[in-house]
Amino acid sequence: MKLLIVESPSKAKTINKYLGKEYEVRASIGHIRDLPKSNKKAIDIEGGFIPNYEISVGKEKVVSEIKTLSKKATEILLATDPDREGEAIAWHIREACGLKKAKRVTFHEITESAIKEAIKHPREIDMDLKEAQEARRVLDRLVGYDLSGIIWKKVRYGLSAGRVQSPALRIVMEREREIRAFIPETFFIINGEWKTIGRAKESKKYSILLECEERVKEKDEAKRIVRVSKESSWIIKDVESTDVSRSPKAPFTTSTIQQTASSRLGFSPSRTMMIAQKLYEKGLITYMRTDSTTLSNQALGEISNTIETTFGKDNLQVRTYKTKSKNAQEAHEAIRPTHASARFAGNSDDEKKLYTLIWERTISSQMKDAKLKRTKIVANIENRKEKIPDFSTTGSVIVKEGWLLADPRSRGEDQQLPNLSVGENINLLSMSANEKQTEPPNRYTEAGLIKELEKRGIGRPSTYASIISTIEDRGYVDKINKALIPTDTGEVVITFLEKNFDSYISDTFTADMEDKLDKIAEGKATYLKTLKDFYGPFSKDVKSKEKLEKATNLGDAPEDLLCPLCKSHMVIKLAKNGKFYSCSKYPTCMGARKIDGTIMEGPKLLGKKCPKCEKGDLMEREGRYGKFVACSNYPKCKYIEESEEEKKNKSTGVSCGKCKDGVLEERRGRFGTFYACSNYPDCKHAIKAKPTGNKCKLCGELMMEGTKTIPERCSDKNCINHNPHKIEDKKVVKKTVKK
């Protein structure tokens, strides 16, 4: 028996169809090892940046199964994805499972011919690729933890920064600043409708829309042009027709498929990559993480046959495309269908849509140019005593469709213009001058940001989707009508990083680091030296910023908004729930206003000393989840308890039942609302749902609110009344009866 190991069960299922009983195909289900969450244990910096990997939670069974199968196997092949991450996963499987004799095989499409050809050429694991991926992982951990640690202290706990997510956020924020600084200018668009005069041989008359070629800034000038236009007769000044060619676009790379799927299908980058992964694992497309536009000779042959059969030989034109990425791996192919003849494939609607997009782009890339006839008509008044700008319009008609036959969605609409001659008279029907204002630059969409990241050399194709997902999930940007808008939190975080760590989130640093990682992959640089050269200066810079002040200020409040307590100027500050106005003399003065200007209720002294430090005064304050009582010496003393008002509101009035005088109260935890004893931590009794006050007739425990089908159920999960619809096993029944 021969053992072949891949990452995905779906991939294993597809490959299993092509290999006989001689092979046992198993999936590692992604990474089986990773760095521990604790940064102290993760990397031995002094020992030479040695990562201390551990088996990922839940992967013990996978490791055990692979070990067992490997003992019976005569040959072990590691067939993980053909990139750095795939190489690293293969190495982790070998090391964690003790597969000393395992060999590596790679393929860029999951087809029978590709799989069988790959098996014929096993090789050793490429340690340069593995070390490049390891360097990236360690580097991201070091930068992320150190920068995030500073942000926790100086901005807010729980926020984060990263080697590539922060430069992406900076790009979004730079555009937002451009928009804020933009000063609109007024101008006038002048357009009208003219009627052509029927000729002797023509029974029909045509109308034509023309627009002033100059952008008029003055209102009086716009009025003059309209007046003169209406008082004068019009004539065709020029008619220019040109033949234009439209060439097809290159086959998809990871970057371009994410951009096109976003604009045409409305898919987010992460959604696009998830669907593409499924198509790849089903053997429908080639590997979806690539920056190459190359197509193999075999693929070109199949594509040519499909074009000849479907669209005719006269539309075929075999092309090669130059890859834009300087670090592209030309051995890889562009994203294409594995079988060019299959125009439609996939199970779900999303899969069918994305597959069709890939098929259209691939097939059209090898077809002849589309031929268009573009016509420009220019008109002006006959009377030249008062001059006005030319009015014109442009139309285009497709003469020969070419590659648009395969990709009709790129066609656009034809704009047919009437056949007019120079010197021909036309009659003005109507004209208007519309006031407009210049608009600021557009905010980035997800597709636009990916294009910009690729242009600046930030990240790699496989990371674009995760970069955007991270800044959205962290709450640093909001996506509104496809536009990415930085949030208050995102603005504070990136402003802090720009002021204090600008060199580490700059385009040049990020792109240079990607180049260094590529050199490790090529064997031209070493793992240890690359990390040493970076981390030495970086760690010193981080330590030098430990004494910085808190950075939650967003600038000065409007001058007319004064502190409600001391009448001093106010500043805009960032809190967990968003922006608010705070007195500039805080913490001496606690005056605050909501962002709409209304006064925020300040802390109230309760006339009691803190029971923990015995020095501070207890104060009632308002927080995210309502009112609470805290020590005035916070953060030196972190004593906190609920206010009496909150306790009354949250009390159920139902006795705890486990202690003498405890009452069950509503509480909030990481998994949502639950009900716990008021005597916590002395009594730790808690239930999941609101108690009804009744007791279970079987076991005597408290009953709690249930569902629509079970209005009331027992709080003891071992009791049959906890879920009457479920058939309990014998142990549970016995335990209930015993009670």
What gap in Å lies between CA 197 and CA 98, rounded to an integer?
88
| Whether 392 contacts 234, CB under 8 Å | no
HEC readout, 263-318 = HHHCCCHHHHHHHHHHHHHCCCECCCCCCCCCCCHHHHHHHHHHHHHHHCHHHECC
What gap in Å lies between CA 728 and CA 653, rounded to an integer?
32
Strands 391-400 and 50-51: unpaired
Of 23, 53, 287, 581, the active-site residue reads: 287
User: Letter for the amino acid at 145?
Assistant: Y
CA distances from 417 to 201, 392, 442, 464 (A): 18, 12, 32, 44
Compute φ and ψ for 198, nearest 5 degrees. Answer: -60, 140
What gap in Å lies between CA 442 and CA 128, rounded to an integer?
42
Check if 287 is active-site.
yes
Element (H, E) at 674: strand 672-677
Question: In sequence order, what are the beta bridge partners of 245?
Answer: 371
CA distances from 83 to 197, 564, 721 (A): 67, 61, 54
| Whether 719 contacts 699, CB under 8 Å | yes
CA angle 32, 35, 36 (to 5 degrees): 105
HEC readout, 305-362 = HHHHHHHCHHHECCCCCCCCCCCCCCCCCCECECCCCCCCCCCCHHHHHHHHHHHHHH
| Whether 147 contacts 497, CB under 8 Å | yes
What gap in Å lies between CA 447 and CA 600, rounded to an integer?
41
The C-alpha torsion from 558 through 564 and 569 to 574, rounded to 10°, is -70
Strand boundaries in 465-591, DSSP class E: 477-480, 483-486, 553-556, 570-575, 578-583
Q: Output the six-digit token pair for 223.
A: 């009025």
Question: If you count them, how many residues does the chain have?
Answer: 739
Which phi-psi region, left, alpha or beta, contains residue 194 (left: φ > 0; alpha: ψ -120 to 50)? beta
Task: Specify the 3-state DSSP secondary structure of 22.
Answer: coil
User: Letter for the amino acid at 551?
Assistant: A
User: Letter for the amino acid at 110?
Assistant: I
Instruction: Look up tokens 């782009």; give the residue.
Output: 361
Long-range contacts at 650-659 (CB < 8 A, ≥ 24 apart): 651/678, 652/690, 652/691, 653/693, 654/691, 654/692, 654/693, 654/702, 656/683, 656/685, 657/685, 657/701, 657/702, 658/683, 658/685, 659/683, 659/685
List residues with catalytic annotation: 287
